[in-house]
Amino acid sequence: MLKITCPFCGPRTESEFIFGGPVGADRPDPNAVSDAQWVEYLTIVPNPLGPVQERWWHARGCGEWLTIWRDTRTHDIVEAPNGSE
């Protein structure tokens, strides 16, 4: 189980949080892209190896949204690559 550190509540177990998904590209305007691009956006889920920026909601705590970096190979929560967030 992941241990996620909430900046307001401190270290908590993953069971207090709801996964909000990876931080990704903005949703395209469906009227401005081709049908194939729209279908790809809706159906293709990236599955990268290594550090991924993710959103987590502290649903059973303070109710805040957090952005963390998690390594998909080890599930360890890591610092942002190159110090960026």
For the stretch 37-83, pLDDT in tens is 999 988 988 888 999 999 999 999 999 999 999 999 999 999 755 54
Q: What is the pLDDT of residue 85?
A: 44
Q: Which of 78, 57, 53 is nearest to 66 (CA)?
A: 57
Q: With the C-alpha atoms ordered 71, 74, 76, 82, is the resulting torsion angle positive or negative?
A: negative
Contact criterion met (CB below 8 Å) for 5 and 69? no
Domain 3-83 in CATH 3.30.2270.10? The answer is yes
For the chain, domain boundaries = 3-83
Higher local confidence (pLDDT), 1 or 83: 1
